[in-house]
Amino acid sequence: MLRPKTAPMGWNSWDCYGAAVTEKEVRQNADFMAKYLKRYGWEYIVVDIQWYEPGAVSHEYRPFADLEMDEYGRLLPAPNRFPSAAGQKGFTELAAYVHSLGLKFGIHIMRGIPRQAVHRNCPVLGTGKTARDAARFNSICMWNPDMYGVKDNEAGRAYYKSILELYASWGVDFIKCDDICRELPHEEAELRMLADAVENCGRGIILSLSPGPALLEKAELYKETANMWRITDDFWDEWPLLYAMFERAEKWSIHAGAGHFPDADMLPIGPIRQDYDKNTRTKFTENEQLTMMSLWSIMRSPLMIGGEMTGFDDFTMGLLTNEDILKLHRNSRSARQILRRTVAGNEWIVWSAASSEGGSYVAVFNAGEADGEFSFLLSELEIEAESVRGTELWSGEPVEFTGSVTACVPSHGAKVYFLP
Amino acid sequence: MLRPKTAPMGWNSWDCYGAAVTEKEVRQNADFMAKYLKRYGWEYIVVDIQWYEPGAVSHEYRPFADLEMDEYGRLLPAPNRFPSAAGQKGFTELAAYVHSLGLKFGIHIMRGIPRQAVHRNCPVLGTGKTARDAARFNSICMWNPDMYGVKDNEAGRAYYKSILELYASWGVDFIKCDDICRELPHEEAELRMLADAVENCGRGIILSLSPGPALLEKAELYKETANMWRITDDFWDEWPLLYAMFERAEKWSIHAGAGHFPDADMLPIGPIRQDYDKNTRTKFTENEQLTMMSLWSIMRSPLMIGGEMTGFDDFTMGLLTNEDILKLHRNSRSARQILRRTVAGNEWIVWSAASSEGGSYVAVFNAGEADGEFSFLLSELEIEAESVRGTELWSGEPVEFTGSVTACVPSHGAKVYFLP
Amino acid sequence: MLRPKTAPMGWNSWDCYGAAVTEKEVRQNADFMAKYLKRYGWEYIVVDIQWYEPGAVSHEYRPFADLEMDEYGRLLPAPNRFPSAAGQKGFTELAAYVHSLGLKFGIHIMRGIPRQAVHRNCPVLGTGKTARDAARFNSICMWNPDMYGVKDNEAGRAYYKSILELYASWGVDFIKCDDICRELPHEEAELRMLADAVENCGRGIILSLSPGPALLEKAELYKETANMWRITDDFWDEWPLLYAMFERAEKWSIHAGAGHFPDADMLPIGPIRQDYDKNTRTKFTENEQLTMMSLWSIMRSPLMIGGEMTGFDDFTMGLLTNEDILKLHRNSRSARQILRRTVAGNEWIVWSAASSEGGSYVAVFNAGEADGEFSFLLSELEIEAESVRGTELWSGEPVEFTGSVTACVPSHGAKVYFLP
Amino acid sequence: MLRPKTAPMGWNSWDCYGAAVTEKEVRQNADFMAKYLKRYGWEYIVVDIQWYEPGAVSHEYRPFADLEMDEYGRLLPAPNRFPSAAGQKGFTELAAYVHSLGLKFGIHIMRGIPRQAVHRNCPVLGTGKTARDAARFNSICMWNPDMYGVKDNEAGRAYYKSILELYASWGVDFIKCDDICRELPHEEAELRMLADAVENCGRGIILSLSPGPALLEKAELYKETANMWRITDDFWDEWPLLYAMFERAEKWSIHAGAGHFPDADMLPIGPIRQDYDKNTRTKFTENEQLTMMSLWSIMRSPLMIGGEMTGFDDFTMGLLTNEDILKLHRNSRSARQILRRTVAGNEWIVWSAASSEGGSYVAVFNAGEADGEFSFLLSELEIEAESVRGTELWSGEPVEFTGSVTACVPSHGAKVYFLP
C-alpha cells in the first residue's frame, strides 16, 4: 500500500454540498485550491457520496432512487450533475482537469454492491457470476439505502476488482469508503477484499475509511489496510463535538504515522451546508477553529477542508496557510496528551510532540468556559533545562519559559509553542 | 379481533418440508387430519414460508430468488408447486378443498413488502403510491432475504390492507406472520398496521406471530393485537430446547387465555425434515414427547403438528388423541409452576392448573437424567384435604394421594393427574 | 417449615419509629391491635431493627455503636429502651405480654454475627469455636454497620443455632431477617443455615426475608426456605413506588401460596416517621391507600401495618377492617394481571383471581392522572356468561355487568369486585 | 510531589515471602543489593504487606488476627519478626541500616485504618476524634481483612497525617499503598487525602498505588497524586500474564514520564514463593525473562525485583545488570507499540521509543509459539534513511538494516535494538 509520510490534505464536498455536489462546484474548488492553497501542501479534491444519484439535492438520501450504473453493476457519475461523465466516461475528464491543476482527485464509495445491480442481477465483469452471487442479503447500511454488503467469495472479489480497475482507469487517486469501520467485525472480510483490490488496481490510491467511531481494538487492522480511518462519527461545527475529540485523539494518537493516520474528520469551516441555506457559515468561533486546527495538526489527522473555499474570508485562509502550523502537521512525532487538569473550574489540556527535525511542540488548550492563564512545570514535559525559549505559532511571537510554562488562553482557544 | 376460547390446534408444513412444501403434500395431510384427527379438535392446515418461491427445495432460502407476485407487489403461490394456483388464483382452490373437509386453512407471511416489488416499484393497490413509498430501506429480516419492512404511512397501510383483502378473498382462516415479535420495538407500528388490516379484512382470521423469543415486557401488546405469539426461537427435537421451555413457560403462562396464547412452537413429531432425508424421524424419546405434550397442554400453548401425518405410528397418534389431555388443553386455567426442586441430583418440576369445569390438574415432570420418585405435600398445591383421589391421564389409572403426592416418573418423562 | 395458609398480618415498628422504637410504644400498639384489630385477623407485633442499640434515636444507624450483647455474641434488647429486658431477660416479658393479648410476637435480625463479637472474639455457644471462626471478614451489609456475614462451617452453624434457640426461648413467633435476599448468591448458604436453625429451634417461627428487590430467578430458593420475602426495596408513601409495584406484583404473583408469600412491604399509613416529626402522616391519598390495600390483598402479600395505630383515623381503620377485602386476602388464588392498557392517555390495570370458596375477584386500577371510566369484555376474564352480578367490595354496592365490565375509577384509585 | 526522572528500581519482599518476611531476610537482600546491584541503579528495599501481623507465615491473611499497633491506631512492625522494632521503635533501625548501605527504604500500607483500632475506638493523634469518627463502616478491602476505609473528614485527614508523620520519622522513602487503585471512584477522596499527607509529611516519599488493574480513564488522577500505579492485577511467572501485559502496556505507555510511571508489577525472577517451598524458582523461561525485562524497560515501568536475590544465578544477574538495557529504561521517551501482526500463525509485536540522548530504540517481540524471523519496513518506524546501523542490546552485537528490519527471535523472546 501507499505509505504517505504526511497525513493527506485536501477538500471534500460533503460539509458544503451533501449528496448533491456538481461538477461545476468541484471545478471551482479545484481552481481555488490550485491558485491559493496548493503551495501550502493542500492537494486532494474529493467528491463525496452519491455522485451516481441524479436526483440528489441535499444531505438526504432518496431510498430506492434509480442510480447511474453500467451493465456490470458499477456506479457511474450522473451526467446531469457531472456533464463530463456523459457517454459513460465516468470521472475521466474531471480527474484529468484536477490533475492538470497539479492536484489529486478522490471519490467516495459505499461498501458493497448496488441493490439495484443485485435485483437486476447484473453480471460481474470478468466472471460467470452475477451480482446476486456477490451480495449478502442481510448486510446493509443503516443510514444509506444504496448497497448490499459483498460476500468473501469469487463473485465478491471480482466485483471489488472490477470497480477499482474502473476507478483507476478514470485516474482516481483517493478513495473514501463509507460504512466500513464502525461496526466491525462484520465488515472485516470486506475491508480486506477492498484493500486487496486497491493494492492490485495498478494505480497508487490512498484508502480512507468511514464512518467512525472506528474500534480502538481494531487499530492494527486499519493500519494494515488503510491510510486513514475515521475515529469519530460525523464531525460538525459544534463545541461539544470538538471537546469530545480530545478524548478520542488521546486514545488514537499513538497510531498515527508511517502512512496511516487516525482521521478526526473534515474541517467544517467557512460556508457550509449550502444545500440548505446559502448564508450558512460555520458556527465555530475563531478560537474554536484555532483549537481544531491545532489539535488536528499535532495529532497528525488528515486535514480535509469542508467548506466552499471560494467563500473563505481572511481568517479562514490564515487558518489554512500558517506555515508553522502546517510544519507541525508534517513533522509532529509521538504526539500525546501530557496532562488534563481542572483548575478553578476551568479545564486545561496540554499536548506535546517531538519534531522530526528536532525540538518540541507544546499545545495548550483551554477547554473551559472562561479565559484564563495556566501554568505547569517544564519537568512535566520532561524538559530538564531551567529555561527554554521558543515561538507561539499562531501569533509568531517569541516566548521564554523558566521553570514552568505559563499560557494565557481564551475560552475554547489554543496556544501552540515550538521549543527548538 | 377473534377471541378463540381454546388455543388453536392444527398442522404446519415447516418441520417436515421447510420452505418447499407442495400442494400435494398439503392435501394429503389435510385428508389425514380430516379422517383421523378432526374429531379430536384438530382443525388448521397451515402452509408455511415461501409458497411464492418456485425454486425452494429445502429449509434454506435462496437470496434474491424471483418470487411469484402480482402487479401490486402481492406474493402468489408458485404454480409449479401449487398447481391449483395457476392463473393467479392464489390459494382459492386449496382453501376451498380444506374447507370441504371441515377444516380451516392458514398461510405464513413475512413482515413487510417484497424487495422485488420495491425495486420494480410496483403500485400499491388502490392508491397513487408505490412500493417504494411503503418500504423502509433499512428494515430487513436478518435470516430471510425477501422483504423490506413497511412504513407507518398511507402507502404502508394500503399495502397491508391489499394483502389481507387478497388472502381473505382466498378463504384464509389463519395467518402466521414472521419476523415480527422478536426484535421490538422497531416492528411495533408494523404489527399494529397488520393487526388493523386483519381486523378489517372482512373475514375472521387468527393472527399468529413469529419468531420468538417474544419480549415479556411487550405481553400486553401481543395480547391486544394477536391470538398467539412465539415465546421461543425455532423449537426442534432436542432435549435442551424442551428443557429450556419450562422456564419460558413459567414466565409466559400468566398471559394465556381469552383468545391469546403464548406459543411454544410446533410439535416436531413423527417424520420431519423430509427435505433432507426421507428417513428422518423425531429424535425425541417417547417420554420426551409425553413431556412436551403435557407441558404444551397445561400451559395452553397452541398445538401445531410439525411432522408428516401420514407417516405417524401408534404412539404418535396416541399422543395426539388422548381425550383427557386434550380436555386439559381446553379447560386448563391459571396454570403455573408450583415448584422446581433438585433432589438427590434429579430435577423435578410440578405444574398445576384449575379446570374450567372444576377440579385441578397437576403435572409432575422429571427433568433429571435418572428415573425416580418424587413426593411433595398436598399443601404445596393449597389442597387442604387430607386425601384426594383422581386419575393419571396418560395411563388412565386411578390414583389416591394422602398427605402428599408421590409420582414415579422416568427420566425426561411426565405424569399428569386430574384431581376432581 | 411452617406453612401458614394465609399471608401474615400484623404491625411493624419501622415505618413509624425506625431503629428507635421503645417497649412502651410496642406495648401501646399491641394493646390497640388486641382491642380493635385482632378480631379481623391482625396478629403479629414485630419489633424492627436495632433493638440492641442503646443509642438509636431515629431511622439512622450509628456506625460502631456499642451494642447490647451477651457473652456468646448474641444481641440483646437494650434495657434503656426495653426495661423488661433488664438482667439479660431478652424479650421474654414483652413476648409474654403480647401473647397474653392473644397476639404473636416478632423481631428483626440482621444476617450475620456482630462485628463487635468478632473483634472481641466471643465464644460461640456450645462449641470450642469463636466468633472469628464464624465470621466472613469481607461479607458486610452496605447500609448497616453491625454485622459480618457468617461462614458455612461448624462455627457458623452453631452461631445461628445459638441465636434461634435464644429467640425461641423468649417466645418469638416471627423473625424478619435483613440483608439476605437482594444480593444473592453470596448469601445463599447463609440463608440455608438460617432456615435450618429456624426449622430446628423447637418453636414454630415464621421467617421473613428482607430487603428487596428479591431476585426472581431465585424464587424456588425463597419458597423452600422462607414464608415471605421482599420483592421491593423499602416501600414508602410515594405514588411512583406504588405504581412500580404493579410490575413487581405481576412478576411475583405466581409464587404466592402454600405458606410462602412475595412481600410488597409494610403499609405506610396513618402517623409514620414519628422520629423526625410527630405531625407526619402518610402522604398517600385515600384513593392510593385503597389501591395499595387492594393490590396487596389480591396478590396475597403479607399485610404489615407501618403506622402508629393509636393515631389512626376512621378512614385508616376502615381500610384495615373491610371484611370483604380481608376475605379476598385470605381466599385469593391464582391472582394475575389480566390486562394493562392505556386508553386516551389514562393507564388501566386489571387483575383477577379465583376465590378458594368459588367465584372470581376482579380489581380495576386507574393508574392514570385523570378520573375515568374503563370497559373491557367479560370474555377477557374468560367468563362465558352473557351477564354477571356481584358486589364492589370497598363500597359494598351491587353491580351487574353485561357483555363487558365497566368501572368508574378515580385517578390512582381502585374498584374491587366479587363475582360469585 | 517528588518527580523522579526515572522509574524506581528496587526489591520488594512479596513475591518471595508473601506476608511473612522477616528483618533478617530484608537485611540480607539489602546487603546483596548494596554489594552487587547498587552500582547499576537499583536502590529501593521495600517491605511488603502485613509487617504488623505477628502470626503471618505465608502469602495468606489470617482474618481478625491481632495486629501490632500503637495507642493511636497506627500499625507497628511485629517485634517477633522485626526485632529492631521492639519498644515501639518501628522501622527506625532497619531504615537506618538500609540508608547506611546507600539504599532507600520502603514499606507497604493498606488503604484505611485498622478495624482493630476502630472497634477499640483508639484516639486519632492530635485531635479530639477517634478511629470510629474516621472509619467508613462499609468500605472494606475484599481480599484483606485488616482495615476500614477512611472518611474525608477531620478525623480521616488527621489519621493519614499521623501515620505519614510516623513513617517519615522512621526514615521511610517509599510507600506502596494497596487497595486504592482498582475500584475507583470510591477511593478517590481517600487517595487525595493520602497524597496530601505524603506531600506534607516533611520527607520526600515516593508513592506507589496498588493493586491493578488501574482505570485508564483515571490516568490524570494517578498522575496528579502518585509516582507509580499498578496497571495489572498481581503479576506472576506465567506466560499468559506476560502476554496480556502487551495490551496493557500499549494503552498505558503514553502516561509514562515526568515522575509518574505506569507499573507492570514486580519481576518474579529467581527464587520466589519461598514460604511454600524453598526450591521454588521462577517458571519463566530465559526468553520470557528477556521479554519481560525488555518490555518493562522500554515502557519505563518501575523495576522491582521479586525474588530472593541471594539465590540469583548468572542469568538472572545478567538480566538486571545489562547497562544498555538499563540505559534504555532511563532514557526511553514516547515509547509505543508500532505494530502487532500475525504472520504464518506467529504473532509479532514491535515497540519503538526515542532516546532522550538521541537515536531510537526498537524492540521486536515474538509472542508466538514458534521461533521465527520477522521483517518490517524501516518506513514503518518513520525512519527515512535507506539503511541504518546499530546494536542489539542483549547480545551486544552490531546490526545493519537496509530498507527493512529483520529479526530472528525465539518463541516468547525479544530482540532490542538501539539505532543511533
Burial of A227 (0-12, 13-18, 19+ CB in 10 A): buried
Rounded CA gap, B100 and B111, in Å?
30
Burial of C215 (0-12, 13-18, 19+ CB in 10 A): middle
Sorting pLDDT into bands at 50, 70 and 90, what band is D185?
Answer: low
User: Residue D296: which residues within 8 A CB-CB, separation 6 or more?
Assistant: D264, D267, D303, D329
Closest residue of D to C135, CA-based?
A: D63
C372–chain D Cβ distance below 8 A for any pair: no
**Nearest residue, CB atoms, D258 vs list A341, A356, A382:** A382
Residue range A199-223: average pLDDT? 96
- If you search the block for the grid coordinates 511542540, which residue do you land on? A361
> Any chain A CB within 8 A of the CB of D381?
yes
| Contacts of residue A318, Cβ cutoff 8 Å, sequence gap at least 6 | none
A364 to chain D, minimum CA–CA distance in Å? 16
pLDDT digits (tens, 9 = 90+) for B54-96: 999 999 999 999 999 999 999 999 999 999 999 999 999 999 9
At residue A185 the predicted structure's pLDDT band, cuts being 50, 70 and 90, is low
Q: Is the pLDDT of residue B9 over 90?
A: yes
Tell me if C254 and B253 make a contact (CB, 8 A cut-off). Answer: yes
Q: Which three cell numbers stand for residue A264?
A: 478526526
Q: How far apart are CA A209 and CA A191, in angstroms?
A: 9
CB–CB contact B258 C379 (8 Å)? yes
- How large is the average pLDDT for residues C201-225? 95
Distance (Å) from the alpha carbon of D356 to chain A's nearest alpha carbon: 9
Say yes or no for a CB contact (<8 Å) between B381 and C258.
yes
Note the Cα C23 to chain centre separation in Å.
Answer: 21
Nearest CA to CA, how far is B260 from chain C (Å)? 9
The angle formed by the CA atoms of residues A268, A274 and A276, to the nearest 5 degrees, is 115
Candidates C53, C137, C183: best to mutate against D (most CBs of D within 10 A) is C137
How far is the alpha carbon of A115 from chain B, nearest alpha carbon, in Å?
A: 8
Backbone angles phi, psi at C39, to 5 degrees: -65, -20
Contact flag C143-D138 (C-beta cutoff 8 Å): yes
Grid coordinates standing for B393? 391421564
Task: Render D54-75 in DSSP notation, one character per residue.
Answer: TT--SSS--TTPPPPB-TTS-B
CA dist C33 and C13 (Å) reads 13
CATH number of C335-419, picked from 3.40.50.620, 3.40.50.1950, 2.60.40.1180, 1.25.40.10 = 2.60.40.1180
Q: Which amino acid is at A359?
A: G
Distance CA A322, CA D54 (A): 69
Average of pLDDT values for A264-269? 98
Percent of residues, chain D, with pLDDT higher than 90? 95
Q: What is the pLDDT of residue C184?
A: 64
**pLDDT tens-digit readout, A321-368:** 999 999 999 999 999 999 999 999 999 999 999 999 999 999 999 999
Closest CA to D252 of D290, D217, D208, D211: D217
Radius of gyration of chain D (CA): 22
Residues C416, C387: contact at Cβ < 8 Å? no
C-alpha cell at A67: 442510480
Flag if D137 and C145 touch (Cβ within 8 Å).
Answer: yes
Q: Which pLDDT score is estimated for D301?
A: 98
**Spatial CA neighbour of B72 closest among B16, B113, B24:** B113
Looking at every residue in chain C, the average pLDDT score rounds to: 96
User: A193 with A160: CB under 8 angstroms?
Assistant: yes
pLDDT at residue A184, rounded to an integer: 63
How many other CB atoms are there within 10 angstroms of residue C128's CB atom?
10
Put simply, whether D358 touches A (Cβ < 8 Å) is no
How far is residue D209's CA from residue D283's CA, in Å, rounded to a whole number? 26
CATH architecture of B9-321: Alpha-Beta Barrel (3.20)
What is the C-alpha separation between A332 and A301, in angstroms, rounded? 11
Residue D184: pLDDT band (50, 70, 90) is: low
Q: What's the pLDDT score for residue A94?
A: 98
Cell numbers that stand for D43 in this block:
536502590
What span, in angstroms and rounded, lies between the C-alpha atoms of B204 and A377?
A: 81
Grid cell in block for residue A418: 515550538
CA–CA dist D281, C93 (Å, integer): 67
Chain D residues inside the 8 Å CB shell of C139: none
Closest by CA to A146, choosing from A116, A177, A180, A181, is A116
Query: CB distance C224–B354 less than 8 Å?
Result: no
Compute the mean pLDDT over every residue in chain A, rounded to the nearest whole number: 96
Domain(s) of CATH 3.20.20.70: residues in chain C: 9-321
Q: Pairing between strand D135-136 and D147-150? A: antiparallel
Assess A141–B contact: CB distance below 8 Å, yes or no: yes
Whether B381 has its CB under 8 Å from any CB of chain C: the answer is yes
CB C376 within 8 A of CB C350: yes
The CA distance from C162 to the nearest CA of chain D, in Å, is 22
Give the distance from residue D5's alpha carbon to the nearest chain A alpha carbon, in angstroms.
8
Type and span of the H or E element at B397: none
Pairwise CA distance, residues D63 & C143, whole Å: 22
Q: Are C115 and D119 in contact (CB under 8 A)?
A: yes
Residue where the block lists cell 468478632: C118
DSSP A253: G
Check residue A418 and give its pLDDT. 98
pLDDT of residue B45: 98
Confidence label for C185 from pLDDT (cuts 50, 70 and 90):
low
SS3 letters for chain C? CCCCCCCCEEEECHHHHHHHCCHHHHHHHHHHHHHHHHHHCCCEEEECCCCCCCCCCCCCCCCCCCCCECCCCCECCCCCCCHHHCCCCCCHHHHHHHHHCCCEEEEEEECCEEHHHHHHCCECCCCCCEHHHHEECCCCCCCCCCEEEECCCHHHHHHHHHHHHHHHHHCCCEEEEECCCCCCCCCHHHHHHHHHHHHCCCCCCEEEECCCCCCHHHHHHHHHHCCEEECCCCCCCCHHHHHHHHHHHHHHHHHCECCEEEECCCECCCECCCCCCCCCECCCCHHHHHHHHHHHHHCCCCEEECCCHHHCCHHHHHHHCCHHHHHHHHHEEEEEEEEEEEECCEEEEEEEEEECCCCEEEEEEECCCCCEEEEEEHHHHCCCCCEEEEEECCCCCEEEEECEEEEEECCCCEEEEEEC
Tell me the C-alpha distance between B294 and B395, whole Å: 13
Tens digits of residue pLDDT in B124-163:
999 999 999 999 999 999 999 999 999 999 999 999 999 9
* pLDDT tens column, D234-245: 999 999 999 999
- Helix (H) / strand (E) containing B320: helix B314-320
What is residue D20's DSSP assignment?
Answer: G
Integer Cα distance of A96 and A85 in angstroms = 12
Cα–Cα–Cα angle for D408, D414, D417, rounded to 5 degrees = 80
Strand partners, A230: A263
Instruction: Output the pLDDT for position B240.
Output: 97
pLDDT given for residue D275 in this prediction: 84
In this predicted model, what pLDDT tens digit does every residue of B324-354 receive, in sequence order?
Answer: 999 999 999 999 999 999 999 999 999 999 9
Instruction: Tell me how far the alpha carbon of residue D420 is from its chain's centroid.
Output: 30
Distance from CA of C117 to the nearest CA of D (A): 10
Nine cell digits for residue A147: 448497497
Q: Distance between CA C67 and CA C51 in Å, rounded?
A: 9
Interface test with A, best of D216, D218, D254, D361 (most A CBs within 10 A): D254
Residue B223 contacts C where some CB pair is shorter than 8 Å: yes
Contact assessment for residue A30 and residue A101, using Cβ atoms and an 8 Å cutoff = yes
Element (H, E) at B402: strand B398-402
- Percent of residues, chain B, with pLDDT higher than 90: 95
> What pLDDT shows up at residue C33?
98
Which chains reach chain B with 3 or more Cβ–Cβ distances below 8 angstroms?
A, C
Please state the separation of Cα C371 from the chain's center in Å. 31
Residue of chain C minimizing CA distance to B216: C251
Residue pair A54/A81 in contact by the 8 Å Cβ criterion: yes
Torsion sign across C-alpha atoms A18, A20, A25, A30:
positive
Tell whether A124 lies on the interface with B, counting CB pairs under 8 A: no
- Confidence category of residue C378, pLDDT binned at 50, 70, 90: very high
For range A236-245, the mean pLDDT: 98
> Taking 70 as the threshold, does the pLDDT of residue D367 lie above it?
yes
pLDDT greater than 90 at residue B258:
no
Sort C249 into a burial class: Cβ within 10 Å, 0-12 / 13-18 / 19+.
buried
Q: Looking at residue C94, what is its pLDDT?
A: 98
Pick among B62, B137, B140 to test the A interface (most A CBs inside 10 A): B137
Query: Can you tell me which residue has the cell 418447499?
Result: B20
The pLDDT, as a whole number, for residue D258 is: 87
Residue A344 contacts B, CB cutoff 8 Å: no
pLDDT tens digits for range B155-206:
999 999 999 999 999 999 999 999 999 876 668 999 999 999 999 999 999 9
Distance between CA atoms of D62 and C93, rounded to whole angstroms?
A: 42
pTM of the full predicted structure?
0.93
pLDDT, position A397? 98
The pLDDT-based confidence of D187 (bands split at 50, 70, 90) is: confident
* Cα nearest neighbour of D142 on chain C: C138
Residues of chain C with CATH 2.60.40.1180: 335-419
Q: Any CB–CB contact under 8 A between B406 and chain C?
A: no
SS (H, E, C) B63-104: CCCCCCECCCCCECCCCCCCHHHCCCCCCHHHHHHHHHCCCE
Measured CA to CA, the distance from residue A257 to residue D323 in angstroms comes to 31
Please report how many Cα atoms fall inside a 13 Å half-sphere around the Cα of residue C44, on the Cβ side.
28
| Cα A282 to Cα A303: distance, rounded to the nearest angstrom | 16
- Poorest-pLDDT segment among C395-399, D59-63, D96-100, D393-397: D59-63
A in contact with C (at least 3 C-beta pairs within 8 A): no
- pLDDT grade, residue D217 (50/70/90)? very high
Q: Which of A224, A333, A339 sits opposite D220 (nearest CB)?
A: A339
pLDDT score for C176: 98
Alpha carbon distance, N-terminus to C-terminus of chain A = 34
Cα–Cα distance between C4 and C208 in angstroms, integer? 12
Residue of C nearest to D114 (CA): C119
